[in-house]
Structure 1
């Protein structure tokens, strides 16, 4: 079995693949002050829930955009799972040619996204990853990552609104039935979600114009479902795209996987 971790600023996604099938999936809070024991015990508990033991794990792939937790996290993997993790980093095999000014600046999660999208859906392709930040990732027909757009995510936008305006409360991220509403909560939700839908549609349209071609648009990320259900500019919603990308990377680098 292959164990994969996608470490984001808000959550850590953990999945187990048997061959090409994702057989188990969990999420945990990233947490900047956790010890290796806290991470390790959480990993074991989640695996035990699905009757998976450390001995069932053949290989481990880790993608991270949170450098300051990696010492504790990698030690947890080594001590509690008993395998040396393979980290997504510049120089590994991905099946993607990274054509940008500084390939070393490209985030590990983005590398996993584009590897999965090109392998599963082909090119040209545009990946929209609705995470802490929303990332628009452009892949050419011949499998090159050539450009990206990064915007504040839905969660960041909602948090900034309530923190920056003293009389505005924290809100649930959901779309009200109509854009014109008569109470503060729904007014904020309407502005946030309808405004974000408009932003997504405009950015996708402009990317296609600059690329001068139609592209398959693949969305991923937990908050993506809120947007995907309300627009016709997204062709595919694949919430496990990043984890699938880590599986692709494992295969490209010939990691043992059963």
Structure 2
């Protein structure tokens, strides 16, 4: 039984980390216990800074060894050392774990990190899965993070469908090996291309179409984009399943910007995990200590 006017866990709940509240009303022993409690919470919350740099956007999250914090997203074009230094300031990080497909941004990470260890994910890292691929150095770090996450969180065999600037399909065998995948144009890239390359077609804000037969140019484009894209995903998944898994049932997990929209009418997809790549970075951070 806790002795004293206020349990430290209740105090911390009422006074979030960083709140400037004097402890003079507490007994010296209670003050020490409260401070220890808060320091433990702070340390757990900031084991890692996870950074997933894609061509269009960068996602960031602080994480403990077993849980992600809140994720933030910024345009990759705006990512620089000064912005990262502001994010890092005030946090006692053990490590920064990075998946990057934009190499020119890597120097900003190193500069902002200072003396904090930075782990850039590659096939040389411990991933929790093997890599059975002719050119492992050419595999995107985000794809390796996805493979690590799906194997740890959902089991194998598995396919990750990542709806980003491109849509990628990453395949993990029943033997827990990354064996390759598929890359196709992203949904937004396809619709933006139509807008940029034609005189009369409008730019779309993608949403679920009401019907297949569009009653306007915009509705017809929306139907083609969403239903057509689902057809693309469905066909690729069927080909992957027949070639890689035979009669085995694979876990199909979607992530990325349009995952919920496209997966909503695709029974082939078992789960949607918006932060799968960041989860993979957390897992890889744990494995490379």
Number of the residue aligned with 2:40: none
Number of the residue aligned with 2:103: 67
Asked which structure has the greater CA Rg, the reply is 2
Number of the residue aligned with 1:150: 183
Number of the residue aligned with 1:244: 279
**Secondary structure of the equivalent of 2:128?**
coil
1:227 aligns with 2:273: no
Does the 8 Å contact 2:94/2:117 carry over to 1?
no
**Secondary structure of the equivalent of 1:203?**
helix
1:16 aligns with 2:62: yes
C-alpha spacing 1:21/1:91, structure 2 compared with 1 (3 Å): same
Number of the residue aligned with 2:82: 37
Q: 1:169 aligns with which of 184, 190, 202?
A: 202
Number of the residue aligned with 1:50: none
Instruction: Count residues with an aligned counterpart.
Output: 241
1:134 aligns with 2:167: yes
List gaps (5 residues or longer) in structure 1.
48-52
Report deviation, 1:231.
Answer: 1.2
* Cα distance in 1 for residues equivalent to 2:280 and 2:49: 12
Does the 8 Å contact 2:123/2:144 carry over to 1?
no
* Cα distance in 2 for residues equivalent to 1:35 and 1:13: 14
Q: How well do the aligned residues superpose, as a CA RMSD in angstroms? A: 1.5
Report deviation, 1:105.
Answer: 0.5
- Give the structure, 1 or 2, with the largest relative contact order (CA under 8 Å, sep 6 or more): 1
TM-score for the superposition, normalised by structure 2: 0.80
* Cα distance in 1 for residues equivalent to 2:126 and 2:64: 21
List structure 1 runs of 4+ shifted beyond 4 angstroms. Answer: none
TM-score for the superposition, normalised by structure 1: 0.89
List gaps (5 residues or longer) in structure 2.
1-46
Report deviation, 1:40.
Answer: 2.8
